Amino acid sequence: MEKILTTNFAGLDLISPVLIGSSGLTNTPEKNTALEKAGAGAVILPSIFEEQIEIQTGKNTWTDSPKAHDYVLNSLNGMQLDDYLQLIKKSKKSCRIPVIASINCYRNNGWIDFVRKIETAGADAIELNIFGLNTEIDRPENTVENIYVCITRQVKSLVNIPVIVKMSKYFSHIVKLTDDVRKAGADGVVLFSRFYQPDIDIHLMQANSGYVFSSNAEIADTLRWTSLVGAKLPDVSIASCTGIHDWEDIIKCILCGASAVELCSTVYQHGNEIIQAMNRSLEEWMLAKEFKSIEEVKKQLNFDEIQDPSLHERIQFMKYFSNRD
Ligand SMILES: Cc1cc2nc3c(=O)[nH]c(=O)nc-3n(C[C@H](O)[C@H](O)[C@H](O)COP(=O)(O)O)c2cc1C
């Protein structure tokens, strides 16, 4: 692959900005070797859940909820902590691209020490998928934001490898939270994680899970916030995620300020071949536009030049609807 696609995300040097998001796509060393061969810049391993870590290390027995305990122990993804560390070790042995471990967490609790084992196993970085929905009426409004900052700070104090925070988009001040997470030590952020999608079955009259894959329409928020965060916090290293389905989408994200993208749905739907095709098209587009590096493409179209991005967004909104009868 040509050097033109090299980039740096969260301190990691990458041969391509196309990273494979945490999922079943990366759950064996063989799959990760194949992803590298297809041209991926890095792989993010499936998440291990903080509950799995706590139950298996005896930090939390969840005796108050035996059903949850059983589910985490027996049904979840069946992943034992040793299996996870082996996945890191074996993937590192078979791949030259960075192997990034992932933890899904929501409390600043007994699981945290496990990050040291992840580092010792050889992971190049840790991605924290911090889950939080504030649904309690008497909980202070910044509870989830505080958890993001506390977890980031604590993990960062325990390891020397880069720490990446995969963020939710359900916050009223994404720019401020990103800045707080950066100050807590995050080396990069992923904008955004995608929550479980609820749906309703109107025939069975019950709650259901929605479609597991994203749609391309979901890229709008990804672009908006990549651009806003990129403009306001130029030192923050961003990987865009959610709704990115083709090579044009990757260029849009980089133009908005991303250093890389994390893909999942489109690779499930089209196979590893799409990675190679995306790299090729990215390179052709860059050469046609006479860009020499990803760094040059970055931020060509973010909100940098605009004094008041919220006013700009408001005017765009007015234009958008006033032209329709
Ligand atoms: C089958 C499947 C499994 C996933 N597992 C994880 C996971 O273990 N940890 C995580 O942080 N995200 C997980 N995700 C979310 C993806 O990493 C990604 O953030 C999300 O799908 C949005 O990207 P996309 O629009 O390219 O699909 C999963 C997604 C899918 C479709």
Supply the angle between the helices 247-256 and 273-288 in degrees, to the nearest 10.
50
What is the DSSP annotation of 277-325? HHHHHHHHHHHHTT---HHHHTTTTSGGG-S-HHHHHHHHHHHHHHT--
Sign of the dihedral defined by the CA atoms of residues 186, 195, 50, 266, in that order: negative
164 token code pair: 């990446």
Q: Which residues pair with 103 in a beta bridge?
A: 48, 128
Residue 46 Cα, ligand 1 centroid: separation in angstroms? 8
Cα angle at 75 between 262 and 204, to 5 degrees?
Answer: 85
**What predicted TM-score, i.e. pTM, was given to this entire model?**
0.94
Q: Output phi, psi for 160, to 5 deg.
A: -105, -10
What is the CA(24)–ligand 1 centre distance, in A? Answer: 8
Q: List the CATH number of the domain containing 133.
A: 3.20.20.70
Instruction: Give the domain range for residue 267.
Output: 3-322
Q: Are 17 and 261 in contact, with CB atoms under 8 Å apart?
A: yes
Pocket probe mutation, ligand 1, options 18, 19, 23, 244, max atoms within 8 Å of Cβ = 23
Phi, psi for 130 (deg, rounded to 5): -90, 120
Q: Which helix (DSSP H) or strand (DSSP E) does residue 99 occupy?
A: strand 99-105
**CA distances, 123 to each of 42, 54, 93 (Å):** 11, 20, 11
- Among candidate residues 285, 293, 186, the one with its CA nearest the CA of residue 229: 186
Number of domains making up the chain: 1
140 lines ligand 1 (CB under 6 A): no
Distance from Cα 141 to the centre of ligand 1, integer Å: 27
Q: Is the dihedral of CA 127, 48, 33, 215 positive or negative?
A: negative
Regarding the beta carbon of 264 and ligand 1, being less than 6 Å apart is answered yes
Residue among 47, 194, 262 whose CB has most ligand 1 atoms within 8 A, to mutate: 194
The count of other CB atoms within 10 Å of the CB of residue 185 is 16
> Nearest residue CA, atom 5 of ligand 1?
23
Query: Could you tell me if the CB of 214 is within 6 A of ligand 1?
Result: yes
pLDDT per position in the chain (325 positions), as tens?
458 999 999 999 999 999 999 999 999 999 999 999 999 999 999 999 999 999 888 877 665 666 666 666 665 666 789 999 999 999 999 999 999 999 999 998 889 999 999 999 999 999 999 988 888 888 888 889 999 999 999 999 999 999 999 999 999 999 999 999 999 999 999 999 998 889 999 999 999 988 899 999 999 999 999 999 999 999 999 999 999 999 999 999 999 999 999 999 999 999 999 999 999 999 999 999 999 999 999 978 766 666 677 777 777 777 777 777 7
For residue 173, give Cα distances in angstroms to 4, 177, 189, 207, 228. 35, 6, 15, 30, 11
Encoded tokens for 116: 């040291």
